[in-house]
Every structure is written in structure tokens, then in C-alpha cells.
Amino acid sequence: MKRSASSQRWLQRQENDPFVKRAQLEGFRSRAVYKLMEINEKDHLLKPNMTILDLGAAPGSWSQWAGQYLNYRATIIATDILPIEPLKGVTIVQGDFTEETTIQMIRDLFVSQQADLVMSDLAPNMSGMKAVDQPKTVMLAELALETAFELLKPKGDFITKLFQGEGFDVYLNQLRKGFQKVLIRKPKASRPESREVYLVARHKL
């Protein structure tokens, strides 16, 4: 089957991407791992014996690296609508995060504990149309924030991906009302042409 021009461009970009090559060499599941690494280098979020909830986790590189970085001295729960291959020290919940049944499955794992860190790399299937994609992205970020407010310990931390555009400033203000400090990060592994940034919200009020 002949590939479309856009598919060919995507494949070429992947083949030439230094972060893709590095992830393959270092045994990580995706290039996204280097976004979390850089954020953690700056903000020192990961600490031994913490409980982490990883939203939009597939294929699992954030949970994979967090487990290794903490020498598997952490409780990590990862969820995605897509299947995630098993990871050492990680409990996996497969389901649609926009559905109450999936959120309830996650809640059930937090009956006797609260999260120290909620991290979200959630993103919708992109259509390429900003007017369609941006509201979907904001909706997922809002769901992630609701979950963080519910499951985080006092002074817990939250990381979420968001695209700059409509709804961004409103969301940023929501974070500032609920956390002591909010930082905007653009890791080197985020492609320069992308509007993607990560919001790091420290110390839930």
C-alpha cells in the first residue's frame, strides 16, 4: 500500500529524530521519556517511596523511567485507553479516561492511599484542525486536574500537557488557585514547532 505524503513525512521525521534514536539505544518505549527527565531535573518531583498516578501513559515510558529512577521504590499506577505492555513495579489500568468506569477503577486503587504526584501526558487523537483539537485537549487536561484534586495528598504535585491556545489562560488560572506554585516548561524533546508545553503545579493547597 502506498503511503500518503503526510505518513512519509512523519516516518522521515521519526527516523531523523535524535530523541527517537536515543530512546531506542537506551531501551525506553518512546521519546516522551526525555520530557519527564528534563522536567524532573529542573523541578525534582520524583522521590523514593512516593505514590504516582500516570495518566495517558501508553506506551509507558514515563512509568518505565520513573520506576528505574526510583530503583522501584515507589507505587506507580499507569492508565491509558491503549494497551500497555507490563512494566516492573507498575499497576496498569486500561480504559477510556473520559468514562466514569475507568475513573472509578483508578479511585478503587487509591482507597487506602493518596498520590504524591499525578502526571498527565493525555492527548486526543489529533485531526490537525486547531478548532477541534484544542477543546478536546483542554477537556482532557480538566479531567486530569479534577482527578489530581481528588487523589493528591495535600502538598502533592501535578504535571500536565497542554497546548497553548484557546482555554490555556483559564486553565492556568485554575491551577494557580489550587497549587502554591505553577511553572510552564517546554522540554527540549517537545518539538519546537509544537504548541505543546507542560504545566508543573507544585504543592496542592
Q: Which residues are catalytic?
A: 161
Q: Please name the residues in contact with 99: beta carbons below 8 A apart, sequence gap of 6 or more.
A: none
Could you identify the residue written with the cell 489550587?
A: 178
Picking from 90, 18, 32, the residue whose alpha carbon sits closest to that of residue 61 is 32
Largest CA distance in the chain: 54
| CA pair distance 65, 103, nearest whole angstrom | 24
Question: Left, alpha or beta for 79 (phi > 0: left; psi -120 to 50: alpha)?
Answer: beta
Beta-carbon contacts of 147 under 8 Å, excluding residues fewer than 6 positions away, are 53, 55, 103, 106, 118
